[in-house]
Amino acid sequence: MSPTSSRGMWSSRAGFILAAAGSAVGLGNIWGFPTQVGQGGGATFVVIYLACIFLICAPIMAGEIAIGRRTGLSPVGAFSALAPGRRWWLLGALGVLAGVGILSFYSVIAGWAVAYVWFTATGAVSGSPDDIGRFFAEFTGSGLISAFLAILVIGITAGVLLGGVRAGIERVTKLLMPLLALLLVALAVRAVTLPGAGEGLAYYLRPDLSRLADVGVFTSALGQAFFSLSLGMGCILTYGSYLSRQDGIAASALWIVALDTSIALLAGFIIFPVGFSIAGFDPTASGPGLIFTVLPRLFAEMPGGHLFGGAFFLLLSVAALTSTISLLEVPVSHCVDALGWTREKAVAAVAGAISVLAIPSALGNGAVGVFTSLPGLGMGFLDLMVTVWNEVALPVGGLLTAIFVGRIWGVDRALEELRAEGRWMPVPELWSFLLRWVCPAAIAMILVAALAALF
């Protein structure tokens, strides 16, 4: 089912949904979502996140898939084909840059997940919550190991893109992703029965309305929604370009959104109950280490915890790999399509550049002072990357995609694509209203309010 060198097709709608869900489900769900919920004040963030997913992102996802399938091209080519002689190809170029920027920090976290397969399976990380926290700080504080692991992850991703083992990966993923979901359910059941879990559930499920006044919660929820769905940077567009006209776009988009959102919500049912079962736990203070410092606690409480822990981080690493593959694919396919490079040259050059860009994120967790706390910004390099790419570039990409589909290409033409071969397209009026009015207005308002809050 893998579309490889020549432009192929997914063998079925299920193949497309699985590949797109493989891209969507990753660190964003299990590492990013709980981290952002923790920093964004719990349930308030969750409510805003869900509103962003269903009112803003789902309609844009159908639009991205439609552009991809209509043109059969990667993003830069697709936007120029539908709006010839205009500058809309720049929107595709923004996606190419976002692919590079996101993979540069994503690979660092993925590297940590890989290392934790070993650490949890062997019991290297254990003891009191303080010991576990210290272990994480020491491990990530030694930036060289993080940098090495990040470059290893980028190398493996490049190898998969080049080596044609991609079909194999997809076959393995089909088996492992349901296994990850099952494991998450099992861990959630254990987590909610821990003593003290109730407080965590309340934090996760009971909105604190005072947080609605904080525009930062809206920007991070919106950014997280785009990031988690791999949306706003042409990745879903590229995958859509391999979709056959026999397969329904609306149903596929809803499947991807439902799968991705369920996995993220499930992760919250694990992290917060376990977190709050630890005395003195402060979800707002945990930062990128949240899952690495909280989950080992759960494994310590479970019979067979080493096994569960190792399996969890292994499946998380596989989920991350299917996402890094799709991230690298966007800039690589651009270099092949637009610059005429061979695939080998494109993979080598792009992966090399991303490896260099990954270094400051890897060294910014205690190893090197300036990267740990950037002068004048009060955040580390990794956080800066999350802010720039997730919270600005993806929503801007999504905003422009909504305008493009709603007003440049036109909803009527997009609807023709959505309904091709008589496929299911529920309430087209609602879709077009959301895309033409709600998406642009909501994203623009959030971005403008965030900008205003800076000054």
Query: What is the closest distance, in whole angstroms, from the C-beta atom of residue 57 to ligand PFF in the complex?
Result: 11
Q: What is the DSSP string of 61-86?
A: HHHHHHHHHHH-S-HHHHHHHHSTTS
Among candidates 120, 369, 100, which has minimal Cα distance to 235? 100
**Shortest Cβ distance from residue 398 to ligand PFF (Å)?**
12
| Single residue of 3, 13, 18, 23 touching ligand PFF by CB under 6 A | 23
Please identify, among the stretches 35-43, 205-213, 222-230, 331-339, the one whose residues bind ligand PFF according to the rule CB under 6 A: 222-230
**Rounded CA separation 396/194 (Å):** 41
Report the residue from 15, 26, 42, 398 that binds ligand PFF according to the rule CB under 6 A: 26
Q: Cα dist. 238→252, 264, 371 in Å?
A: 15, 24, 33
By CB under 6 A, is residue 327 in contact with ligand PFF? yes
* Binding residues with ligand PFF: total (CB under 6 A): 15
Residues 98-137 that bind ligand PFF (CB under 6 A): 102
Q: Is 125 or 225 the residue whose CB approaches ligand PFF more closely?
A: 225
* Helix pair 290-301, 305-339: axis angle to 10 deg: 150
Between residue 244 and residue 263, which ones bind ligand PFF under the rule CB under 6 A? none
Is residue 29 within the footprint of ligand PFF (CB under 6 A)?
yes
- Quick check: 235 binds ligand PFF (CB under 6 A)? yes
Residue 320 and residue 180 in contact, taking contact as beta carbons nearer than 8 Å: no
* 191 contacts 273 by C-beta, under 8 angstroms: yes
Closest CA to 23 of 259, 244, 248: 259
Residue nearest to ligand PFF (CB): 28
Separation between Cα atoms, residue 323 and residue 236, nearest integer Å: 11
- CA nearest neighbour of 224 among 410, 411, 39, 417: 39
Smallest distance, ligand PFF to C-beta of residue 28, A: 2
CB-wise, 361 or 372, nearer to ligand PFF? 361
Please tell me the number of Cα atoms within 13 Å of 50 on its side-chain side: 12
**Site of tokens 């009971």:** 206
CB neighbours of residue 268 within 10 Å: 25
Q: In the bound complex, what is the minimum distance in angstroms from residue 99's beta carbon to ligand PFF?
A: 6
Q: Smallest gap, in angstroms, from Cβ of residue 327 to ligand PFF?
A: 5
Residue given tokens 């980028």 in the structure block = 154
* 229 touches 24 (CB < 8 A): yes
CB of 37 to ligand PFF, least distance (A): 14
Whether 242 and 326 have beta carbons less than 8 Å apart is answered as: no
User: In angstroms, what is the minimal distance from the CB of 293 to ligand PFF?
Assistant: 20
In the complex, least distance from residue 208 CB atom to ligand PFF, rounded to whole angstroms: 25
What tokens does 205 get?
A: 């499920």
Pick the stretch among 23-31, 184-192, 248-256, 274-282 that binds ligand PFF (CB under 6 A). 23-31
CB of 245 to ligand PFF, least distance (A): 24
Candidate residues 39, 74, 228, 241; the one interacting with ligand PFF per rule CB under 6 A: 228
Return the number of the residue (327 or 446) whose C-beta is nearest ligand PFF. 327
Residue closer to ligand PFF (CB basis): 29 or 80: 29
Can you point out the beta strands (E) in 278-342? none
The yes or no reply on residue 323 touching ligand PFF (CB under 6 A) is yes
Cα–chain center distance at 386:
11
Rounded to the nearest whole angstrom, what is the least distance from the CB of residue 345 to ligand PFF in the complex? 22
Binding of ligand PFF by 230 (CB under 6 A): yes
Tokens coding 68: 């991809």
CB of 103 to ligand PFF, least distance (A): 8
Asked whether the beta carbons of 157 and 324 are under 8 A apart, the reply is yes
- Closer of 137 and 384 to ligand PFF (Cβ): 384
Copy the structure tokens of residue 219: 């920007």
Residue 290: how many other CB atoms lie within 10 Å: 23
Please say which residue, 232 or 296, places its beta carbon nearer to ligand PFF: 232
Comparison of 229 and 439: residue with beta carbon closer to ligand PFF:
229
Distance CA 316, CA 300 (A): 19
Asked if 73 is part of the footprint of ligand PFF (rule: CB under 6 A), the reply reads no
**382 near ligand PFF, rule: CB under 6 A:** no
Residues interacting with ligand PFF, by CB under 6 A?
23-24, 26-29, 102, 227-228, 230, 233, 235, 323, 326-327
